[in-house]
Amino acid sequence: MAELSDIQNQTIQDEIEEYLERADEIERFTELFARVKPAMQDIAAAIIEGDDDEVDALTAKALENGIDAIEIMDDGLIAGMGIVGIKFRENFVFVPEVLSCARAMRAGMAHIEPILSASGIESQGKVIMGTVKGDLHDIGKNLCIMMLRGSGFEVIDLGVDVAEDTFIDAVEESGAKVLGMSALLTTTMPNMGRTIEAFIDADVRDDVLIMVGGAPVTQEFSDDMGADGYGADALSCVAMAKELIASAA
Amino acid sequence: MSEVQSMTSRERVMAALAGQPVDRTPVCCPTSVATVELMDLVDAPFPDANRQAAPMARLAATAHTILGFDSVMPVFSIIQESSALGCKMQWEGKDNWPTVRMSEPIWDSVDDIYIPNDLTSHPDTQCVLDAIKLLREELGPDVAIIGKTMGPWSLAYHCFGVEKFLLLSLDDPEATKAILEKLKKVTIDFGIAQVEAGVDALTLPDHATGDLVSGEYYQRYLRDLHIEFAERIPCPLILHICGRTVDRMGFISETGMAAFHYDSKNAPEESMQTVEGRIALVGNINNPETLFSKGPEDVKAEVFANLDAGVQMIGPECAVPLQTSIANLRAIPEAVREWHAAH
């Protein structure tokens, strides 16, 4: 079993020691960062600190040094965002800090995405994402999309204020097996249920698995409206998408 | 069950806001209880009721005349000032809320901020002032009229975009403070205009919610501004912040505002213990899972929990979904009466 001292980067060591509380997560991230190259630890540390210039430079340097793009994405960028996600879940950091980390991740992904696109790596699956009708908030949705794409999903982003018919048309045209709906307002949350009802009324509910999320959305509300999955944050969204894609296979 | 009422609705609300004794706990709507059912009953649909004084007043009055609340609120949304500032608007139809197109922000830096001279006479703010006067004429002196003036944090979301403003708050705290300092004029001017039009109190939404930013942020960026609002706007103020807020209620209770409108994500007893009587609480009946999705008995259970905790004014946690049933909203004042009859 790996020890914290097996991790070379001091920031990563400190972050695990100070912010991770669950034994399984401490073990998982200690094992992960003890295993990965020091250069990947440095990228992850820069992600956690929200330093987009540093992530940009370190990612470019890692590629120059011949490190594989997928390795940089998994062991550096996504691993760093994993710590950020836990800190957000536990209220150690809030949305401004997460946005800053996401900006840093985008700086790294700007180097990685063209390489992945050119390599023709098979997608984890296709996911449609959108904020429901009447709601123009997109920060949470966009964080989810970034993490989904970073995790290898093909994402169709329908944007904000998405009408029920637009969701249905997108599912039918794309053949996506998973749809994610977001809402930030308690006043617009009911539009998630109305969209699910529209799928039922159009006799296409069985064509897609639907996951929901957003600050006021809860597991209970998700269950009541008949969604197939609920994610409390961007990390949960990725986990839920993987689960739903697997169950649809 | 008999009930002796010695106060008018307005007296009850004002006494609760002043921390004075009441004959029973007032039922208030510091944000909005407008619903599609109510729009149909008085022929005052959105978007007209958000942009024209007469339907705005008709719909607002239903909070008292049909639902039995002690106060009325003519400002159903949070976008009137933003429209006057020049934000791109989406007024929507009867069954959807009007919104600001925050993905198309109008300003990029503090130097861009321009507060027009017609802020309080723009059609989308003037209609609020006219509706307040109509409501006073129609309802007389016995019903509390609560207006609404948006705080600078919320206005900044609308004018700069949420993501840009939140990132700026991390990247450049001084620029963020400069923006808030400039935007406070909007809050004060529209607030005073509503006081002059006849409101008894004002809700001041300023969405520094725990779902977005830390309690430390509230202290750093907003507490002093909110103290200034309480000093400069000459009526009781009800601060509204959605979501988790118990981590900042201590700071909020230091502002001198009369009340804090709190969300169901915060437990009534813990919230009451946190504010220690330094500010009244109003709330916190859950919207999506209770008022929208369940029945009157579930609504009443949440009202009782608030009353048992000593919460000073009862109402929904935020603007209710437009498809909320009248029966569920009426259950709030019914439950308050039942609780007082039993105590």
Looking at the fold, whether A156 and A189 belong to one and the same domain comes out as: yes
Map residue B72 onto helix, strand or coil: strand
Looking at the fold, whether A111 and A157 belong to one and the same domain comes out as: no
Per-residue model confidence (pLDDT) at position B1: 42
Chain A CB contacts of B154 below 8 Å? none
Per-residue model confidence (pLDDT) at position A151: 82
Structural domains in chain A (count): 2
Map residue A120 onto helix, strand or coil: coil
The answer, for B23 touching chain A at a CB cutoff of 8 Å, is: no
- pLDDT tens profile B46-65: 999 999 999 999 999 999 99
CA distance A246 to A234: 18
Looking at the fold, whether A84 and A186 belong to one and the same domain comes out as: no
Looking at the fold, whether A134 and A242 belong to one and the same domain comes out as: yes
Q: Are the CB atoms for B201 and B146 separated by under 8 Å?
A: yes
Over residues A207-232, mean pLDDT: 94
CA distance B275 to B260: 10
- The answer to whether position A2 is within a domain reads no
Question: What stretches of A61-218 adopt beta strand conformation (E)?
Answer: 126-131, 154-157, 178-182, 209-213
Map residue A176 onto helix, strand or coil: coil
Q: Are the CB atoms for B26 and B41 separated by under 8 Å?
A: no
Q: Chain A residue with minimal CA distance to B286?
A: A186
Q: What is the DSSP letter of A233?
A: S
The ipTM assigned to this model is: 0.90
Per-residue model confidence (pLDDT) at position B4: 60
Does residue B286 surpass a pLDDT of 90?
yes
CA distance B151 to B222: 9
- Shortest distance, CA A43 to any CA of chain B (angstroms): 20
Q: Domain B9-342 maps to which CATH number in 3.20.20.210, 3.20.20.10, 3.30.565.10, 3.10.20.90?
A: 3.20.20.210
- pLDDT tens profile A35-75: 999 999 999 999 999 999 999 999 999 999 999 999 999 99
Alpha helix ranges (H) inside chain B: 9-17, 36-42, 48-51, 53-65, 80-85, 123-139, 152-160, 162-171, 173-197, 215-217, 223-232, 249-252, 268-275, 296-309, 326-342
- The answer to whether position A38 is within a domain reads yes
Average predicted confidence (pLDDT) for chain B? 96
Percent of all residues in chain B with a pLDDT value above 90, rounded to a whole number: 94
Looking at the fold, whether A14 and A112 belong to one and the same domain comes out as: yes
Q: What is the DSSP letter of A152?
A: T
pLDDT band at A117 (very low <50, low <70, confident <90, very high): confident
- The answer to whether position A102 is within a domain reads yes
Concatenated DSSP letters for A23-60? HHHHHHHHHHHHHS-HHHHHHHHHHHTT-HHHHHHHHH
Q: Which residues pair with B238 in a beta bridge?
A: B203, B259
Looking at the fold, whether A161 and A54 belong to one and the same domain comes out as: no
Does residue A147 surpass a pLDDT of 90?
no
- The answer to whether position A60 is within a domain reads yes
- The answer to whether position A80 is within a domain reads yes
For B52, half-sphere exposure in the C-beta direction (CA atoms, 13 angstrom radius) is 10
Q: Are the CB atoms for B10 and B142 separated by under 8 Å?
A: yes
CA B104, distance to chain mean position in Å, is 25
Instruction: Indicate which of A136, A141, A187 best probes the interface with B, i.e. most B CBs within 10 Å of its own CB.
Output: A187
- The answer to whether position A213 is within a domain reads yes
The answer, for B175 touching chain A at a CB cutoff of 8 Å, is: no
Looking at the fold, whether A145 and A201 belong to one and the same domain comes out as: yes
Would the CB atoms of A189 and B321 count as touching at under 8 Å?
yes
Looking at the fold, whether A132 and A233 belong to one and the same domain comes out as: yes
Over residues B193-215, mean pLDDT: 95
The first and second tokens of residue B168, run together, are: 């700026």
Nearest Cα residue to A192 out of A128, A125, A134: A134
- The answer to whether position A4 is within a domain reads no
- pLDDT tens profile A212-221: 999 889 999 9
- The answer to whether position A199 is within a domain reads yes
Q: What is the CATH number of the domain that holds A39?
A: 1.10.1240.10
Percent of all residues in chain A with a pLDDT value above 90, rounded to a whole number: 80
pLDDT band at B3 (very low <50, low <70, confident <90, very high): low
Over residues B311-330, mean pLDDT: 96
Would the CB atoms of B288 and A103 count as touching at under 8 Å?
no
Q: What is the CATH number of the domain that holds A225?
A: 3.40.50.280
Map residue B199 onto helix, strand or coil: coil
Q: At which of A95, A119, A143 does a domain end? A: A119
CA distance B180 to B189: 14
Looking at the fold, whether A79 and A143 belong to one and the same domain comes out as: no
Looking at the fold, whether A146 and A231 belong to one and the same domain comes out as: yes
Over residues B310-338, mean pLDDT: 97
What is the helix, strand, coil percentage profile of chain B, to 5? 50, 10, 40
Chain A CB contacts of B320 below 8 Å? 187
Q: Chain A residue with minimal CA distance to B97?
A: A134
- What is the domain range of residue A170? 126-248
Residue A43: phi and psi, rounded to 5, are: -65, -45
The domain spans of chain B are 9-342
CA distance B45 to B224: 38
CA distance A123 to B178: 46
Q: At which of A119, A143, A159 does a domain end? A: A119
Does residue B313 surpass a pLDDT of 70?
yes
Q: Are the CB atoms for B110 and B181 separated by under 8 Å?
A: no
Q: Are the CB atoms for B174 and B120 separated by under 8 Å?
A: no
Average predicted confidence (pLDDT) for chain A? 93
Does residue B317 surpass a pLDDT of 70?
yes
Looking at the fold, whether A16 and A56 belong to one and the same domain comes out as: yes
Q: At which of A119, A147, A165 does a domain end? A: A119
Looking at the fold, whether A131 and A243 belong to one and the same domain comes out as: yes
